[in-house]
Structures are given as structure tokens and as C-alpha cells.
Structure 1
Amino acid sequence: MAHFLLLSILTCVMAFPLFVPVASHAATVRHDGHTHPLTREEFLEAKVVGADKDGADKDGALGDAAALSSRYDVLSYDLDLRVDPGTTHLAGAVLMRFESLFDGLSEIVMDFTATDLVVSRVEHGGAELAFRQMEGDSLVITLPAGLAMGQRDSLLVQYAGQPVEPAWNRGLMFRNVNRNGWRAPCVASHSEVAYAKSWWPCKDRPGDKAMTSMRITVPDTLVAVSNGSLVEDTLVEPGWRRMHWVEAYPMPTYLVSVAISPYAFFQ
């Protein structure tokens, strides 16, 4: 399939300010109450408090969910989302393939801090599994049998609701573009560095990179964009289209992105 250069007539970028973190003038407080610039060693130590070099919890300092999520490695995510900008409703399914890093792994803990998105079902091989959605924290799934170290498996999580931004311009955002009397819906995600879990269940650890694909169903007047290459664009029902994007390289969860608006294709 031909590769497309996707441009917007009036882009969502105009509606979402971009911020670049600046490391200059970073400081720490001494015991006497005064501040001094961070040394390189202090800065590096501050970045990894409670985590190892791969972003996994090394000593439980990030909480029980983080400690348990370090017991498996994510291989891939396949996301299937239905987004209605008119109602700000999101219905999603996430297929996660993973490998056990722990002998006797009996529970999978996924990060999921969304308070307005409810998990309705978790499947393993078509069979429903028991789960607990810890509001504002995580999703705990009980496996049908313990997994040996190195064993691979997969889970499907279904959820829905109206996502709420966990912070200003973070998570999955619903906006409208207004320019010279022209109005259009604009939906976009901003997950850096740990806000992916606010709109889809995942292992939200920057060090655990995985392959991803994204199917997004939207009103057929809109275009849905995600990472990688567009491999399919299908009218699935009257008034709705599904666009399937596949990323060729593993990446962290905070880079998994969605952008929806009446974009124009230039080939």
C-alpha cells in the first residue's frame, strides 16, 4: 500500500500547545534551607529513584502495582478503539502479549489510572478471567494457571467510558478547532511520560518497549491517525470508518498516539 504524507488543513497542533522540558537551573534544597544547582550525579539519581535503568520497580518504592508489573515483559499491544468526538465516548479493547519473568506468575498487574473508564471483561483464550479494577491505580488480573519463567501468553481487556484528562493537556483530549467560522472536532493524545495509563490499560513503564498496532473506528467524516503505516481503511458500517495503523519498531507506551480530525491526505 502506498505510503501517505498526512497533513491537516487546520491541524490539531494549533489547539494543543507543545512543551519542552528544560533541564537548566535545576536545583535541590540543602539541609540549611538554601538551594544549589544539581550535580550530574544528583540529577541521574533523582531520575531513577525507585526504578532500575529499564524503568522497572527495583525495590517496591513505586508501590505494589509497579513491583508486580515488573514480573512480566510486554511483547506487543494491539489496540482497537472506537472514538466518538460528539459524545467524548471511548470504547476500547487491548490485546497484550507478554512473557513471564517470574516462575509461578499467577497475576498480571496492568497500570490503569482512569476513573471514568470501566473494564467490562478480561479474556484469556476466549474464556473470561477474574479481575479487580483498583480505581485510580491499576487492573489486577488472575491467570487461570501460574506461568513458568519464560512462558508466553496473552490477555484481552475490554473497557469503555468517557476519559477525563488526568492533568492539563495530558491523556486523551477532546477539543474543537474554531477558525474563521469553521469548526471541527479534534481528538489527540499526549501521554508523556506516564499518562498512557489514563486512557488505556498497559504496563506504563518507559523501559518496557513493545510492538504496537492500532485500529481506530471514527465517524467517516474524520481521519484517525496513529503510529507507523496505514495498512487498512475500511467503511465498517454506515457513517463509520476504521483505520488500521501498524508500527514497525518497538516503543514505550507514552509514544503510542492518537490524532483524530478532518485531515487531508496528500500523496
Structure 2
Amino acid sequence: MHFNRRGMALVAALVSALACAPADEPPPTTDHRAGAPGIGDTDFPKDGNGGYDITQYAIAIDYTPTSKRLIGVTTIKAGATHALSTFNLDLAGYDVREISVNDAPATFSRQGDELTVRPAHPIDNHAGFTVKVSYSGVPKPAVGSNLGTYGFMPTPDGAFVAAEPNGAKTWFPSNDHPADKALFDFTITVPVGLTALANGEMVGQPTTAGGKTTYRWRESHPMATYLATATLGKFELRQGRTPGGIPNLAAADPRFTTSLDRLFATSATITDHWATVFGPYPFGSTGGVVDDYAAGYALENQTKPLYGGFHPDESIIAHELAHQWFGNSLSIKRWKDLWLNEGFATYAEWLWAEHKGTKTAEAAFQQLHRRRANDPIWKYPPGRAQPVDLFNQSVYSRGAMTLHALRKAVGDQTFFALLKKWAAEHRYGHVTTDQFITFAERTSGKELSALFDAWLFQPRRPA
């Protein structure tokens, strides 16, 4: 993510509804127990859920911008990690009409954003199961303390969908935490004349009937829920390939068509360049979307970075495309390690400027280091992102400074080899700060604990 402006407000909204579908089920055996209502992230205790891992989402939504009404059917394939009598899904708002588990009607209840499902038959440990949830209503985006509005955000002609950190639940039932990545299929129906954009690549051609057009997209690589998008509205498109052969799609709202060709060309150039720096591009396509929604930030939605209401410059595009490696392919297990996403993407901005010959990474580093000793950036150690101030500038800038300090300590040859190896060894997986520190020491052959401690964990300016 990259912020374009600051000064965002905190609004809290709690939505609670109760619904159930009648069913007679036998009591669970003593071996079966409820899945946890959280995945285990102590900073966000109700995000995600325990007891299962999701392998695939099939999300079908029909959205009407004039009424802001969304009708959805989400089908989830998962595997139990212990024997389940009940399990939870994350869903904010909506009327849930029906839930089935393995094609049998299930009972369910609601408490806030927690949707608790009791299958007709308990689920055994390691068993695969399929959940189908039918729901409808008006999406209500989330609001965060230093992030602003996120999730499924209605616009006059459609929707702007940027869900970091936990806004996937504003438009589909999910295990809404990056620790549980899955494959995604999208079926999105909108009024004729609108375009629906989602992650991955389009499956077939759009089909039109009854005044509506249906688009199908598939992301066939593992993806965190917060990176899923269904951005829709009026768009002009540019499609082709990067010089390196990667499929490339750029889209822009009519108000931002002057950015379209530049976005298409710049995304192609930067994607190909990062492939030489970070290793092969991890996904099936690249590109970006500029929408007419004043979000004040950009988000690295997998394969389709989203730019909210501004003309993105090269630096921001470089940042969001670097995330395709660091954040999207290599995902964090806990939000406290967010610097592994944002520090790497911010350092990529410095590397892009260095590549273009406009500013060296050393100059960017020194400019920040000259800030006074009582500057807030030094009081916030980026190695432990704070849940109430998750997207603090320190996570970005001091995170990037950590990487530059590492580069200076081990030398360019080792540093850039380290970046490629880090991306390759953990491709499509999860990473932690401790893993990176151990990896850097093993790869460089140097003892680096003092360096990482000073830059990531101490509330003061390193010498």
C-alpha cells in the first residue's frame, strides 16, 4: 500500500444480525469441537478463524450501482485442521439467506462480523469440505484509524474494492487474514456498459443477457483475502504484453484516461525490471487500475494494483509492483511483520530512482537519517507494527532504511543475491521477521543481530 494523502478519520460500525436455517443434526462426538473465532493473530484477535484452511474461493456477485445492492453466493473449499463441530467465517453486514456444508443445509448464527456455522454432520480432522453461503444487502465499507475507508466502497458508477487489512469481509464471507491464502474464481455481474475487473486473468469473454454483463476472472496463484478485488465501473482498457512477454492490462476511469497509456507502459517497464532484480515475476499478468474514487492511497491488489483518485507517478507504480513479490507472493503470517511488505516496497522506490539515475538509495537514506533525534519516526520501531497505528510512516521509511543498512553491511553483490534468493525460497508462501534475520545472516555469513535490533526494534535513531 502507498498513501497519497493523510488525515483520515476513525469511524466504528458494528453490524449484528441473527439468522438460522432449520435442520436436525446429531450432537457432535467428543472428538469434534468448535473452530476458533480468530486465526491466532493477537493484534487482531477476531480476524480470520481457526480449525480449517481454505484452498479455493468461488465468489459470484451481482451488483447494481444505482441501488448499491449486492447479491452474492460464495462457495469455499477448505480442509479441517481439527475435527469440527462448528466453524466461523468473517462477514460484515448482509442478510445471510442460506448456508450449506457439503450440500447439506447448515444452521448458523451471527455476532458482529462473526458468522458461526454448524454443519448438519460434524467434520472430521483433515477432511475436505465445501461451504456455500448465499447473502445480499448494501455493502458497508470499513474505516480504520490511520487508513481511512477500505473494503467494498460504492462509487457512482460501480465500486472501488481495496480491502487491506481486513476488508474482504465487507463483500464476501472469508477467512479474512493473510495467514490463509487460497485460489480465487470470480463471477461478477453488472449492468450493461460497465466493466468488472478482478484478480488474475479473464476466463472466456464477457456474456450479456437481460441488460446485464457477466465477467469471469481467475487467480490461479495463492492470494491473501485483502488482495482480492472486484473493482467495477466505466473504464477504458489497454491490453498487451510487457517487452518481456508478461500479459499486461491497464484500466482507467474516463476522468483519468490521460494516465492510461503511461500506466500501461510504465507498469510493463517496471515489472520487467523488477524481474531482473527480484527474480521471475510470480503471477500470470501485471498492470494497474486508476479509478475515480478519492481513496487517498494505492493498494497492491494481486496482478492489478489499484490507484484511488489520482494519476500515479513512477515511484508509486514501482512501489505497488514490488509488492507483487514482497507482500503478495511472499505474505506475512502476522500483521506485526508488516515492514516485510512496506519496507521492501518503499526500498524498491529508492532502487527505481537509482536505476533511473534521479537519486541514489544512499541519498534517500541520508535524507531520512538527518531528521532530528526526536522525530516520531525514531520512536516507532518498525519491526513490531502496532495494531492501532499499523501503517505508520516508520514501517515504510525506517523499514526501507533497514534494508539499506543491510545492503551497506553485506555489499551490493550479496545484498541483491539475497533479495532474489529470499523471493525464490518463499515464493507463494509466508514469511516472518525472524526468518528474514536468520536468512540474511545465513546468506551473508555475517552476524547481523545488532544491525537488525537497532533498525527494527529500538525506539531511537540508530547511529
Q: TM-score, normalised by structure 2?
A: 0.41
Alignment partner, residue 99 of structure 2:
122
One-letter code of the match for 1:62? Answer: P
1:250 aligns with 2:229: no
Structure 2 CA distance for aligned equivalents of residues 172 and 126 of structure 1: 28
Structure 2 CA distance for aligned equivalents of residues 231 and 141 of structure 1: 31
One-letter code of the match for 1:107? Answer: T
| SS of corresponding position for 2:220 | coil
Q: Verify the 8 A CA contact 2:64 2:158 in the aligned structure 1.
A: no
Q: Percent identity?
A: 25
Following TM superposition, by how much is the alpha carbon of 1:145 offset from its aligned partner in structure 2, in angstroms? Answer: 1.9
Structure 2 CA distance for aligned equivalents of residues 86 and 266 of structure 1: 27
Structure 2 CA distance for aligned equivalents of residues 133 and 56 of structure 1: 18
Following TM superposition, by how much is the alpha carbon of 1:59 offset from its aligned partner in structure 2, in angstroms? Answer: 7.6
Question: Aligned in 2, Cα 1:266/1:94: closer, same or farther, shift over 3 Å?
Answer: same
Give the alignment of 1:14-29 within 5 angstroms: 19=3
Structure 1 CA distance for aligned equivalents of residues 180 and 4 of structure 2: 23
Match of residue 162, structure 1, among 134, 138, 149: 138
Match of residue 123, structure 2, among 134, 143, 147: 147
Q: Verify the 8 A CA contact 1:169 1:190 in the aligned structure 2.
A: no
Structure 2 CA distance for aligned equivalents of residues 171 and 207 of structure 1: 18
Moved more, 164-173 or 83-92: 164-173
Structure 2 CA distance for aligned equivalents of residues 61 and 253 of structure 1: 15
Match of residue 106, structure 1, among 85, 91, 97: 85
- Which structure has the higher relative contact order (CA within 8 Å, separation 6+)? 1
Alignment partner, residue 232 of structure 1:
204
Alignment partner, residue 207 of structure 1:
179
Q: Verify the 8 A CA contact 1:77 1:213 in the aligned structure 2.
A: yes
Q: Verify the 8 A CA contact 2:196 2:230 in the aligned structure 1.
A: yes
| SS of corresponding position for 2:122 | strand
Q: Verify the 8 A CA contact 1:186 1:260 in the aligned structure 2.
A: yes
One-letter code of the match for 2:84? Answer: L
Rg larger in structure: 2
**Which 4+ stretches in 1 moved above 4 angstroms?**
58-61
Question: What are the Cα deviations for residues 49-104 of structure 1, in whole angstroms up to 9, with x where unaligned?
Answer: xxxxxx931789825x85xx2110111100000010111110101101000001x2
Q: Verify the 8 A CA contact 2:192 2:208 in the aligned structure 1.
A: no
Question: Aligned in 2, Cα 1:60/1:189: closer, same or farther, shift over 3 Å?
Answer: closer
Following TM superposition, by how much is the alpha carbon of 1:236 offset from its aligned partner in structure 2, in angstroms? Answer: 4.5
Following TM superposition, by how much is the alpha carbon of 1:233 offset from its aligned partner in structure 2, in angstroms? Answer: 3.2
| SS of corresponding position for 1:197 | helix
Alignment partner, residue 34 of structure 1:
none
Question: Aligned in 2, Cα 1:161/1:250: closer, same or farther, shift over 3 Å?
Answer: same
One-letter code of the match for 2:174? Answer: C
| SS of corresponding position for 2:221 | coil
* Structure 2: runs of 5 or more not aligned: 7-37, 240-463
One-letter code of the match for 1:57? Answer: G
One-letter code of the match for 2:122? Answer: G
Following TM superposition, by how much is the alpha carbon of 1:241 offset from its aligned partner in structure 2, in angstroms? Answer: 0.7
Match of residue 51, structure 2, among 52, 60, 71: 71
Alignment partner, residue 56 of structure 1:
39
* Structure 1: runs of 5 or more not aligned: 1-16, 23-54, 177-184
Structure 2 CA distance for aligned equivalents of residues 193 and 120 of structure 1: 27
| SS of corresponding position for 1:247 | strand
Q: Verify the 8 A CA contact 2:104 2:120 in the aligned structure 1.
A: no
Q: Verify the 8 A CA contact 1:229 1:247 in the aligned structure 2.
A: yes
Structure 1 CA distance for aligned equivalents of residues 235 and 122 of structure 2: 47
Q: TM-score, normalised by structure 1?
A: 0.70
Match of residue 220, structure 1, among 164, 182, 192: 192
Structure 2 CA distance for aligned equivalents of residues 21 and 157 of structure 1: 37
Following TM superposition, by how much is the alpha carbon of 1:153 offset from its aligned partner in structure 2, in angstroms? Answer: 0.7
Following TM superposition, by how much is the alpha carbon of 1:258 offset from its aligned partner in structure 2, in angstroms? Answer: 1.2
Structure 2 CA distance for aligned equivalents of residues 252 and 82 of structure 1: 22
Which has the larger strand fraction? 1
One-letter code of the match for 1:83? Answer: Y
Q: Verify the 8 A CA contact 1:76 1:98 in the aligned structure 2.
A: yes
Question: Aligned in 2, Cα 1:264/1:161: closer, same or farther, shift over 3 Å?
Answer: same
Question: What are the Cα deviations for residues 118-172 of structure 1, in whole angstroms up to 9, with x where unaligned?
Answer: 11100234332111122x2211110122222211010100100001122143111
Structure 1 CA distance for aligned equivalents of residues 41 and 202 of structure 2: 38
